[in-house]
Amino acid sequence: MQELNLTPSQAVIFFIISAVILLVMILSKQTLDFVQDFNKACDDNEKACTDLIKANEELRQTIIASRQGAFLQIEHH
């Protein structure tokens, strides 16, 4: 710090400010990672919901076909 001509108190302030800047950069990266993870989770959730809706519709169609088949069997007996 002598080449910068800083007093000891100025050097301490410099290091504190540097540490704060570094901390903000690290936290910003973590926040960005969190947002990206959250967005991916939302996308995964949306896909899962779409898959559930599709499976529900397929099950509904299967139940309808099964009931129609049972109804036809009853009619023929």
pLDDT of 76 above 70: no
Q: Backbone dihedral region of 7: left (phi > 0), alpha (psi from -120 to 50 degrees) or beta?
A: beta
Average pLDDT over residues 17-39: 92
The pLDDT, as a whole number, for residue 58 is 97
Alpha helices in the chain (DSSP H): 8-76
Choose the weakest-confidence range: 11-15, 16-20, 73-77.
73-77
Residue owning tokens 């108190």 = 9
The pLDDT, as a whole number, for residue 49 is 96
Phi, psi dihedrals of residue 7, rounded to the nearest 5°: -75, 165
Number of domains in the chain: 1
Q: What is the DSSP letter of 52?
A: H
Distance CA 45, CA 38 (A): 10
pLDDT of 2 above 70: no
Domain of residue 62, residue span: 2-76
Average pLDDT over residues 47-72: 92
